[in-house]
Chains A and B, each alone.
Chain A
C-alpha cells in the first residue's frame, strides 16, 4: 500500500502561448510523503503546484489523486489545501472566522465547526489570539493561521508555497519543526515549493529538482546532496567547483587538465564542494583572491589556471593573505561524478 502512488502526475504539460512552463512532468507521490519541488524561479515548480491545486489547467497530461482522475475537477472540489506564500488570509475576518471559512461553506453544524476550529487554532499555538484580525498578527502567526485554515479542511494533499522564505532565521526553525510535527501527527501528504536547497534538504523526504520546466533529478535529500546527476543540480546543492570531462581530462578555461588519478571515462563531469578541495598541498597552484570567515570555516576564492576555485578549510588553521600563491588538489575521492553536464 505504502509504495502505491497516492498522487500521480502523468505527462503533465503546461504552456502559455509558445512558452512551455512545465514539460511532460511525471511523478508518483506516496501517501504521507513530504516532497519538495526545488529550483530557481521560472523553473515551473509553482506552475506544477498550482495545477495540482486546480488553479491552472494543464495543457495536457493527467493528475490522479487517491485513485480518482482530478485533471478536470474544479479547484473547489479537489480537497487539496494550499498555504500561500503571502498567506492570503481574509483581512476582514478574525483568526477564528478565517479558520472556520471552509467549514462554514460545507454547512457543517455549528458545534462541529467550533470543535474543529478551536482544535485547529490550538494546534498551531494561537488559542489566545483567535479573536484578532490578520493585520494584528506577526508574519509567523499569520502563516500558522493559514496552515490551520487549510488543515481543518482535512485535505488529501497539502501544498505549501515557499513556506519558510518569508520568516526570519529563528521562526524558520520553529516553522520547520511545526510542519514536521503536523505531518507526523496527521500523516498528511505534503508538497512544498522552494528555491532554497537548505529548506528542501532539511524538511523533505524526497526532493524533485526542476529546471526550465523539466525534472532534473528526483531523490532523497542524501542522494541529491551527495550524488547530484548533473552540473545544474551539483551547482544548486553547493558544489561550487564543477568541471566537464573530456577525453579523461577536466575541461577548464585554461585548457584540458589531468588529475593525478585516472578519471573514470563514463562520467560527463566532476564536481567538488569547497570542503572537498585540499589546500596547501597538491599539483595545482592558485592565488588567493578573497578570504571570508564563516565561523567554523574559512572560505578562500582562488584565481587558478583551472578558473576560479572555492575552497573551505577549518578556521583554526593559520590564515593566508590575499595574493598568496597556494598549492591545492582536487582529490577524486571527494568528487561527485556527474551523469550529465548540460
Chain B
C-alpha cells in the first residue's frame, strides 16, 4: 500500500464510521426547536427533555428487561448447546450450528414477519412474551458463537482430571469448566445485550399497543415530533453502548471473543 495513500483511506473510513455519530451528538446539543445540522446554538435542554418523556422511560425499561432477560435465557440455552457442539461429535452438529447461526444471516425483517405470522398469531402469545422469545432467539446465535470459542480454548482433559479425582460429570462442569469460561460468558452477555437493545426490525413487527422497545418508541416519536430530543436519546444510547464495550475491552479483552 502506498504510504501517503493509506492514511487517507484510514481517515475516510473513520469519518464514514464515526461521522454519523458526531452529527447526532452535535444535533442533540442544539438550542433550536427542530432536528437540524449544524445545530442552532448550544444547549442541554433536549438532553434534559429525554428524561421527562414518559413513553421513553417505559420503553427503556421494556428494552432493558428484554435485553437482560432475553440474553440471560439465551445463555441458559446457548451455553449447554455450545458445550455439546464443541465437546461431542454430534450426528447433525454442523446442521445445528448452521441453524443456530441463521438469525445472524437472515434479515431481521423476515425473522420478525415469520415469528409474527407463524408463531405469535397461531399460538396467540401476548406481546410481551412474543418480544421476549424473539429477542432470545436473536441473541442465541451470538451466545453460542462466543461461548463455543471459549470451550474450544479449554482442553477437555481438565474435566477428565476432575472426574478421576472423584467429581461427577456435572460437578466437573461447574467446578472446573464454568470458572474458566466466565469471561467468555460475560463477553457473550454484553454482545447479546447490545444486540438486543439496538434491535429494530423484529421488534417493529412484534410491538403492540402499550408494549414497545425503546428504538421502536423513538421511531414513532419521530413520526409526530421532529425535535432534537430523539438525537439526544440516540447520543445517550450510543454513549451507553460505547461505555459498556469500553469497560468490557478494558477488563476482559472483549475483542478476543467477538
Partner-B contacts on A (CB < 8 A): 53-55, 75-78, 80-82, 84, 86, 88-92, 101-102, 105-106, 146, 149-150, 153
A236 and B157 alpha carbons, distance in the complex (Å): 29
Residues of chain B within 8 A (CB-CB) of A78 are: 164
Q: Closest 3 A-B residue pairs measured CB to CB?
A: A102-B165, A88-B161, A88-B157
Q: Are A90 and B163 in contact (CB under 8 A)?
A: no
Known interface pairs A86-B157, A88-B157, A90-B158; A76-B164 also in contact (CB < 8 Å): yes
Q: Is B180 an interface residue (CB 8 A)?
A: yes
Indicate with 1 or 0, residue by residue over B158-186, a CB within 8 angstroms of chain A CB atoms.
10111111111001000110011000000
Residue from B160, B165, B171, B176 having most chain A Cβ neighbours under 10 A: B165
Q: Is B155 an interface residue (CB 8 A)?
A: yes
A88 and B176 alpha carbons, distance in the complex (Å): 11
User: How far in angstroms is the closest Cβ of chain B from A100?
Assistant: 10
Residues of chain B within 8 A (CB-CB) of A53 are: 160, 164
Known interface pairs A86-B155, A88-B155, A90-B176; A101-B165 also in contact (CB < 8 Å): yes
Known interface pairs A90-B176, A91-B180, A92-B180; A102-B158 also in contact (CB < 8 Å): no
Residues 185-205 (chain B) with a chain A CB within 8 angstroms: none
A90 and B180 alpha carbons, distance in the complex (Å): 9
Can you name the residue of chain A whose Cβ is closest to the Cβ of B171?
A105
Residue from A54, A78, A92, A106 having most chain B Cβ neighbours under 10 A: A92
A86 and B168 alpha carbons, distance in the complex (Å): 21
Residues of chain B within 8 A (CB-CB) of A82 are: 160-161, 164
Residue from B160, B163, B166, B168 having most chain A Cβ neighbours under 10 A: B166
Residues of chain A within 8 A (CB-CB) of B157 are: 84, 86, 88
User: How far in angstroms is the closest Cβ of chain B from A265?
Assistant: 51
Q: Are B165 and A153 in contact (CB under 8 A)?
A: yes
A163 and B167 alpha carbons, distance in the complex (Å): 24
Partner-A contacts on B (CB < 8 A): 155, 157-158, 160-168, 171, 175-176, 179-180
Q: Are A84 and B167 in contact (CB under 8 A)?
A: no
B interface majority secondary structure: helix
A101 and B164 alpha carbons, distance in the complex (Å): 11
Residues of chain B within 8 A (CB-CB) of A54 are: 164
Residues of chain A within 8 A (CB-CB) of B158 are: 88-90
A260 and B45 alpha carbons, distance in the complex (Å): 111
Q: Are B164 and A80 in contact (CB under 8 A)?
A: yes
Q: Are B163 and A101 in contact (CB under 8 A)?
A: no
Residues of chain A within 8 A (CB-CB) of B167 are: 76, 105
- Residue of A91, A101, A146, A153 near B162 (CB, 8 A) is A101
Q: Are B166 and A76 in contact (CB under 8 A)?
A: yes
Q: Are A102 and B176 in contact (CB under 8 A)?
A: no
Q: Are B160 and A102 in contact (CB under 8 A)?
A: no
- Residue of B155, B166, B179, B180 near A105 (CB, 8 A) is B166
Can you name the residue of chain B whose Cβ is closest to the Cβ of A152?
B165
Q: Are B161 and A84 in contact (CB under 8 A)?
A: yes
Residues of chain B within 8 A (CB-CB) of A88 are: 155, 157-158, 160-161
Residue from B157, B160, B161, B171 having most chain A Cβ neighbours under 10 A: B161
User: How far in angstroms is the closest Cβ of chain B from A83?
Assistant: 9
User: How far in angstroms is the closest Cβ of chain A from B179?
Assistant: 4
User: How far in angstroms is the closest Cβ of chain A from B102?
Assistant: 32
Residues of chain B within 8 A (CB-CB) of A102 are: 165-166
Q: Are A75 and B155 in contact (CB under 8 A)?
A: no
30 of the cross-chain contacts (CB-CB < 8 Å) are A53-B160, A55-B160, A75-B163, A75-B164, A76-B163, A76-B164, A76-B165, A76-B166, A76-B168, A77-B166, A81-B164, A82-B161, A82-B164, A84-B157, A86-B155, A86-B157, A88-B161, A89-B158, A90-B158, A90-B161, A90-B162, A90-B176, A102-B165, A102-B166, A105-B171, A106-B166, A146-B161, A149-B161, A149-B165, A153-B166
Residues of chain B within 8 A (CB-CB) of A84 are: 157, 160-161
Residues of chain A within 8 A (CB-CB) of B166 are: 76-77, 102, 105-106, 153
User: How far in angstroms is the closest Cβ of chain B from A73?
Assistant: 12
User: How far in angstroms is the closest Cβ of chain A from B195?
Assistant: 28
Residues of chain B within 8 A (CB-CB) of A92 are: 179-180
A146 and B164 alpha carbons, distance in the complex (Å): 12
